[in-house]
Structure 1
């Protein structure tokens, strides 16, 4: 994506970041920086995840017991806090994904009505 276009940071629906974090952690434990980059890469750099949004989301997910954290060593030999998906988080991801798909279909029906 050309840099002169603005990313969809503030345009994401509330709760979308939580769902994306949970989805990213399905692949295995990761620290915040890795989670942000995985979401950015996975979206073709359309979504830019700011630390000011990511870390509150990680804390919120941990408070809800959808993720758990532990300390480990990063790729560059630094101490880093890692996050992993819990069974409750995996279940919540299924709920949120189903809801997201319903919302996308509903919006699609409005944007492209069958009787145009």
Structure 2
């Protein structure tokens, strides 16, 4: 699909756009580029209007009602995005910061556990 359909490209200057570029090169895909945008919502709307296909990071982006956009996983393993947290050591909000970091760690552990369980169930089936 990425070889034959017009591509609505995610902005190459952004981290996610650089990941897209890396994937396309690694897969030796030379797309038919039509547009390049930095807004995932705008890209989704253009795909919905039939202007092309897009390769974007899988985010929690909620698509507006009425859009008939389909998300498909890539056939090959892709790199993951890494995020970090920075704060001022002497921040008055330190207790809140620790709660946010603790919540993030909890979510990551849950996701890692569910991915591990998915892999096990797929192997069993």
Higher helix share: 1
Greater RCO, 1 or 2 (C-alpha within 8 Å, sep 6+): 1
Fold-level similarity (TM above 0.5): no
